[in-house]
Structure 1
């Protein structure tokens, strides 16, 4: 069991531990308020580090890949968000309302950076495009995901009034802007401490998940969702995973991407970012709601890693199509 656990992605391990800790020892009462403040500080740090790491030159280069980036952004923030809306409506009669709404929240999120890039590399994809596109999608997600979710979710979604918008600006956008401004003097430190920065990222996300699930556990999460509903959530997430992977692969072919770019498009388009989703939920929702909304995302995050490994291996083994006569 220990060997199996050690082979699991480190972030997934931390998320599992955070969920288990919240189930056994949730932060409640005055402790929850302290934990929420710690979570807000950790999220601020997370987006500060994101701002420090994404170079302005990478942003400029990524914008130049418009034939790759624009369809990818439309897929992530329009097609997947609308699919999430459809799943939320379909499951609303059978699941707790905020869990069903979690499918819309899942659809409105951007791609991952690390895992999408890693699997693109394993599958023989264009790693440079994958890195830049996933990073830019996360920048867009800071500005797009919350209002998109609020607009599509109607009255059941997060309140993006003045208070909600202020929290997003102060805890997400402001630290990212500070990171961009301090990038030149602090970039060497970031480069020299990559392992430390990576673990700071992971711990920030785990803290946000712990606080969110503490509130949900306090509200009776494990009795609120029955075994049949857990099975329904799992089935819905698997179906959403099929939509994400199949749709991204087909769209990459429709717009005529070369094979390496199409593979990069597949993983960037199908993956969803718990690194964005967990902190954003902690900012937008009270803990008792955030834990329920995050359920589909956390299951999706685990399953996308499980599904991506054999897909990447299959793509790596598949020969590239031959060039037309006279080409190359």
Structure 2
């Protein structure tokens, strides 16, 4: 029972409750406009805080292990998108769900869970901090560019407009830069109040999810998605994660990485960020399209947490057993 509780992400449970609320009581009319404005403000605040949290020391130190970080970034922004393009051939799911799968593969890596799982697995935590931070920093620019390039080729570019690109600059990139520039003034406050900042992060994401699914429900989302389609979506997410975990394992061995660095490559290269995906989708796509696009992201998020939790515990146990056998 305790292990099941550890595998379940409490935040994902909040997301499920938010989706349920939007399904029963979706925001409509003036309420939808107010919720949308609040969600936009939350996105700006979210990326402002992300900019304030990232230290310049982390950026400069990242260059020291550039082979490891390059391998993780290549997996995140090249190998994953290729897999995403392959999923576009699965016609048993709707075009909106296929667009969501492709969008999922274009997102940066997670930060908190990548670092946490690396620590549990007795990997190189410092390198994980830098790799995950780099991924999220580059994702602000690379993800929208990849969306514009690859979704155009897959036939889903009609969802994206010029105003979407402008919104990326105004709601994501500019707040991030301003937040980073303000780090000397507010960095100490952000570091001392990590719990409060985390609540702001998650509250902003929940608000975006509520507005997105409200619009999708009003458009008839749950009348268009069947149980069979959701099951197939879950199987595709499992297959994608399995493929990338295997790829990063083999790549780490081919590169001759130390065990601690190979763990960083596997955990930072195999995960996708829900925290970044929700606001980016909210900015890039029309409100009615965001709900279906986020379904694969939310599903993959929980699957990756469960799989990587088991994998991290296995690596951690092996690291403890190794020294004991050597001492014996």
TM-score, structure 1 length as denominator?
0.92
Tell me whether 42-51 or 209-218 shows the greater mean CA deviation: 209-218
Q: CA deviation digits over 1:151-183, x for unaligned, max 9?
A: 111141365553121100000000000011100
- Aligned residue for 2:62, secondary structure, equals helix
Partner of residue 33, structure 2: 33
Q: Quick one: distance in 1 between partners of 2:26 and 2:109? A: 30
Give the alignment partner of residue 114 of structure 1, picking from 112, 115, 119: 112
- Aligned residue for 1:318, secondary structure, equals helix
Deviation at 1:11, TM superposition (A): 2.1
Q: Quick one: distance in 2 between partners of 1:25 and 1:146? A: 31
- Aligned residue for 2:110, secondary structure, equals coil
Give the alignment partner of residue 143 of structure 1, picking from 141, 144, 147: 141
Deviation at 1:6, TM superposition (A): 9.4
Partner of residue 217, structure 2: 217
Question: Do the aligned residues in 2 keep the contact of 1:26 with 1:215 (CA within 8 Å)?
Answer: yes
Q: Quick one: distance in 1 between partners of 2:73 and 2:67? A: 11
Q: Quick one: distance in 1 between partners of 2:307 and 2:203? A: 25
Question: Do the aligned residues in 2 keep the contact of 1:27 with 1:215 (CA within 8 Å)?
Answer: yes
Q: CA deviation digits over 1:32-91, x for unaligned, max 9?
A: 12211111110100000000000011111113321111111111001101111111x222
Q: Work out whether 1:235 is the aligned partner of 2:239.
A: no
Give the alignment partner of residue 98 of structure 2, picking from 79, 100, 104: 100
Question: Do the aligned residues in 2 keep the contact of 1:150 with 1:159 (CA within 8 Å)?
Answer: no
Q: Quick one: distance in 2 between partners of 1:159 and 1:306? A: 32
Q: Work out whether 1:251 is the aligned partner of 2:251.
A: yes
- Aligned residue for 2:257, secondary structure, equals coil
Tell me whether 153-162 or 283-292 shows the greater mean CA deviation: 153-162
Q: Quick one: distance in 1 between partners of 2:26 and 2:4? A: 27
TM-score, structure 2 length as denominator?
0.92
Which structure 2 residues correspond to residues 146-157 of structure 1 after superposition, within 5 A?
Answer: 146-154=144-152, 155-157=155-157
Q: Quick one: distance in 2 between partners of 1:151 and 1:112? A: 23
Partner of residue 195, structure 2: 195
Question: Do the aligned residues in 1 keep the contact of 2:9 with 2:302 (CA within 8 Å)?
Answer: no
Q: CA deviation digits over 1:213-254, x for unaligned, max 9?
A: 111111111110112111111111111111222222222222
Change (3 A) 1:78 1:320: farther
Partner of residue 325, structure 2: none
Q: CA deviation digits over 1:285-307, x for unaligned, max 9?
A: 11210111111110000111111
Q: Quick one: distance in 2 between partners of 1:271 and 1:60? A: 24
Q: Quick one: distance in 2 between partners of 1:167 and 1:260? A: 39
Q: Quick one: distance in 1 between partners of 2:214 and 2:207? A: 10
- Aligned residue for 2:89, secondary structure, equals helix
- Aligned residue for 1:65, secondary structure, equals helix
Q: Work out whether 1:19 is the aligned partner of 2:14.
A: no
Q: Which runs of 5+ in 1 are unaligned?
A: 323-328
Q: Work out whether 1:133 is the aligned partner of 2:131.
A: yes
Which structure 2 residues correspond to residues 149-188 of structure 1 after superposition, within 5 A?
Answer: 149-154=147-152, 155-157=155-157, 161-188=161-188
Q: Quick one: distance in 2 between partners of 1:320 and 1:104? A: 39
Question: Do the aligned residues in 2 keep the contact of 1:62 with 1:132 (CA within 8 Å)?
Answer: yes
Partner of residue 282, structure 1: 282
Partner of residue 267, structure 2: 267
Partner of residue 90, structure 1: 89
Q: Quick one: distance in 2 between partners of 1:159 and 1:4? A: 38
Partner of residue 207, structure 1: 207
Deviation at 1:13, TM superposition (A): 2.5
Question: Do the aligned residues in 2 keep the contact of 1:47 with 1:175 (CA within 8 Å)?
Answer: yes
Partner of residue 53, structure 2: 53
Partner of residue 326, structure 1: none
